[in-house]
A and B are shown apart, each in its own frame.
Chain A
Amino acid sequence: RGARLTLSLCPQVSGAAAAGAFPKRVKVVEVGPRDGLQNEKNVVPTPVKINLINMLSETGLQVIEATSFVSPKWVPQMADHTEVMQGINKLPGISYPVLTPNLKGFQAAVAAGAKEVSIFGAASELFTKKNINCSIEESLERFDEVMTAARAASVPVRGYVSCVLGCPYEGKISAAKVAEVSKKMYSMGCYEISLGDTIGVGTPGSMKEMLTAVMKEVPVGALAVHCHDTYGQALANILVALQMGVSVVDASVAGLGGCPYAQGASGNVATEDLVYMLNGLGIHTGVDLQKLMDTGTFICNALSRRTNSKVSQASCRL
């Protein structure tokens, strides 16, 4: 039985990628230590965060979002951002981006050793107002300061657009608005735009419509998708994005991070489940699924919670 389960971890790799329908390689951006932990109720001790990131660094992942340089008043979970940044093993070839909501955060991040930062925009005015208490236009002006400083320091900036497939306050979001915000952030100098289905309401239908609009303004090579699995749609949505040429996908180990807008519901898609699918499609990620699952087991034990990864659940031999 053990052999069968191991076999299941490595679904038969095929030539499907070579058939031209999918990218040959996908870059997986691991957001567990930041987006994941930020949305977990229990505050995680600094050594545990550092160990999590170090374990992730051994899995073959090329990008691991380490922490967020926001005020601990707003996000207590990320209060130890400087210690985490300074405490982790930074392996060559791996990028450790951090969130920086403004110039102050940016400067603190660089001082702590950050070599890449991320900024968070949104396609919804109401969401921006509720989240960071200003309009989309004002948020982009704040980011402009960060962009200028980042350019001067040769620090790459990744841009996120939240609520691309729906907003907890506004409901439906127009694809044109997503394209507009994405274009602005790309023009400001973000090397990549991660399109986030923040409340997971998107479906392959709305994903396709949104990407079609955005791809008119931003080259597909600069696009990423950040899907939440709150309605179980994440992998199907990611599949459609891949079919349209997107080759960067965000995910969170063990599916860490609930949804702050739907109590008890899940949030981020689990990296294990994503990698399982990509393996089955013959798409190269460089990620070792077993090591990833072991990392998921570690953090779930530390958080005293069950994994949200179905691959992990299925492979568990309890």
Chain B
Amino acid sequence: QESQASGLPEYIKIVEVGPRDGLQNEKVIVPTDIKIELINRLSKTGLPAVEVTSFVSSKWVPQMADHKEVMRGIERHPGVQYPVLTPNLQGFHSAIAAGATEVSVFGAASESFSKMNINCSVEESIEKFEAVAKSARNMNIPVRGYVSCALGCPYEGNIVPAKVAEVSKRLYSMGCYEISLGDTIGVGTPGSMKRMLEAVMKEIPLSALAVHCHDTYGQALANILTAIQMGVAVVDSSVAGLGGCPYAKGATGNVATEDVIYMLNGLGINTGVNLYAVMEAGNFICTALNKKTNSKVAQASFNTGAIN
């Protein structure tokens, strides 16, 4: 009732990207069995979607070299989606062969970023994704589309909202069921989030939008709040805030799932997720990585021994 009265969504789907986006940006290579254990624990928290791995060449992303083993090794809980990244048709076929039932493709709103990241223009990347989307459609495999640099680019600086809307529209038109708008370097603020969403919402139905905020400048929760005030009901996050920022040494990256859930709980918004279970999964992976959590909720809770 509380969330309804405030005009916020009643339910928000949390897409857990820790095992993929998170681990991909961690320096330490995580053994396969630890990855599988992490995903299995996350499957029991109530999270509706857990991004498992990435079917990219191990030459580019050594952390994801064990994609097949991870995909085959995890427990598949009913009601939980297990998307995987597939940058091209080859990766897509490999993913399907390994048992994937949902895939993601990664576009960008910045030409420079696209060139530096995947060595081709935005247009060329879209062509590759179209091939994936076509195969996926034939096999009834849902495809999620990501748009990177939605609020700023490490090379180009400011990104115009119209460009984000344009790329989003291309991905949606080719059949992506959901478009996740990523503040890749975390430079966005509630001001730029609002302007960007206003532009994108002209092209894509609200129900097909997600936000993927990085906390590099501490703005993530404020940006997520802005998005949900505008009706966005899907939020990406990473357990324990796994994953630093490759563009700002020592800085943080993904927003912590625990901190997002704490906020949504306080707003009376249903997520279906057990915060304590996520904290335990976070504790597990941080111990395995020998690092401190990036989640402030976890930091505060483990030190007082109580959850408020």
Contacts and interface: CB of A to CB of B under 8 A. Distances in A.
Band of interface residues on A: 35 or more
Contacts, number: 157
Interface in B177-228: 185-192, 194-195, 215-219, 221-222, 224-226
Interface of B: 2, 6, 152, 154-155, 157-158, 185-192, 194-195, 215-219, 221-222, 224-226, 245, 248-252, 256, 259, 262-263, 265-268, 295-297, 299-300, 303-304, 308
Interface of A: 1, 3-5, 7-8, 11-14, 16, 166, 171, 199-206, 208, 229-233, 235-236, 238-240, 259, 261-266, 270, 273, 276-277, 279-282, 309-311, 313-318
Contacts of A3: 157
B266 A233 contact: yes
Contacts of B188: 11, 280
A91 B297 CA distance: 39
Contacts of A317: 249
Contacts of A280: 188-192, 219
A200 B250 contact: no
Nearest to B308: A201
B221 to A, nearest CB: 4
Contact of A264 (B225, B267, B303): B303
B119 to A, nearest CB: 19
Given A236-B222, A280-B191, A280-B219, A203 B299 contact: no
B218 A282 contact: no
Contacts of A282: 191
Given A232-B262, A239-B190, A318 B218 contact: no
Nearest to B305: A262
Contacts of B185: 8
Nearest to A283: B191
B221 A236 contact: yes
A231 B215 CA distance: 14
A318 B250 contact: yes
A202 B262 CA distance: 10
A306 B295 CA distance: 17
Nearest to B296: A232
26 contacts: A5-B248, A11-B191, A11-B192, A12-B158, A203-B265, A203-B266, A205-B2, A229-B296, A232-B295, A235-B218, A236-B225, A261-B304, A262-B303, A262-B304, A265-B299, A273-B217, A273-B219, A276-B217, A276-B219, A277-B219, A310-B217, A313-B248, A314-B186, A314-B217, A314-B251, A316-B251
Contact of A270 (B218, B222, B256, B266): B218
Contact of A233 (B154, B249, B262): B262
Given A11-B152, A231-B297, A310-B215, 10 more contacts: A5-B248, A16-B191, A171-B308, A202-B266, A205-B2, A205-B6, A231-B308, A261-B304, A265-B300, A273-B217
